């Protein structure tokens, strides 16, 4: 996993944790559980593994819905009820749609696929379209998200720069 992918995922996780705390209704909690579950599956699958992708995806989906997976989202929380809600939402999501989720992640990580599905594409497909955990967002909200996506893309492009070439390099003075 490249540094830019890690940084993007880290920034996203911070935002998602804040988003999870703001959720109150059952639908909102289920949506947060879906987004958190997909994020955690992606995070786990990004780690290098000697297993084939089908096996890795199956094991990850089968084991993701545990308190320790979501505990970092709630480190400062005094009440574990939100953590419990997230775990229950994760289990419900995977009980109902685990097969579809496995297929999407296997396809996303397939060697035949030219580009991997982005986290946003996975959210749309799984959390909005397949499970209906999250309502489809109005066009105005999507436009605001596009601005954030552009900013993230620009940050990723900046992180891709490996060496910076100086226009007027400073001459080395050996007398100093």
Q: Does the global pTM surpass 0.85?
A: no
Tokens encoding 66: 């545990």
Tens of each residue's pLDDT in the chain, 176 residues: 455 555 555 555 555 555 544 445 888 889 999 999 999 999 999 888 888 889 999 999 999 999 999 888 887 767 688 889 999 999 999 999 999 999 999 998 887 777 888 888 999 999 999 999 998 766 555 556 556 666 666 665 555 544 444 455 455 555 54
Whole-Å CA distances, 11 to 22, 37, 39, 73, 87: 17, 16, 12, 13, 22
């Amino acid at each position: 996993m490249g540094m830019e992918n890690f940084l993007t995922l880290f920034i996203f996780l911070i935002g998602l944790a804040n988003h999870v705390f703001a959720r109150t209704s059952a639908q909102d909690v289920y949506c947060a559980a879906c987004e958190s579950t997909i994020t955690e599956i992606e995070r786990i699958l990004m780690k290098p593994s000697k297993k084939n992708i089908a096996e890795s995806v199956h094991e990850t989906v089968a084991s993701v819905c545990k308190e320790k997976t979501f505990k970092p989202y709630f480190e400062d929380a005094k009440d574990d009820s939100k953590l419990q809600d997230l775990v229950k939402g994760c289990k419900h999501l995977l009980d109902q749609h685990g097969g579809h989720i496995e297929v999407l992640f296997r396809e996303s990580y397939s060697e035949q696929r030219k580009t991997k599905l982005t986290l946003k594409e996975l959210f749309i497909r799984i959390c909005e379209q397949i499970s209906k955990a999250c309502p489809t967002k109005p066009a105005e909200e999507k436009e605001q998200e596009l601005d954030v996506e552009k900013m993230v893309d620009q940050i990723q492009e900046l992180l891709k720069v490996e060496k910076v070439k100086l226009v007027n390099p400073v001459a080395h003075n050996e007398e100093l």
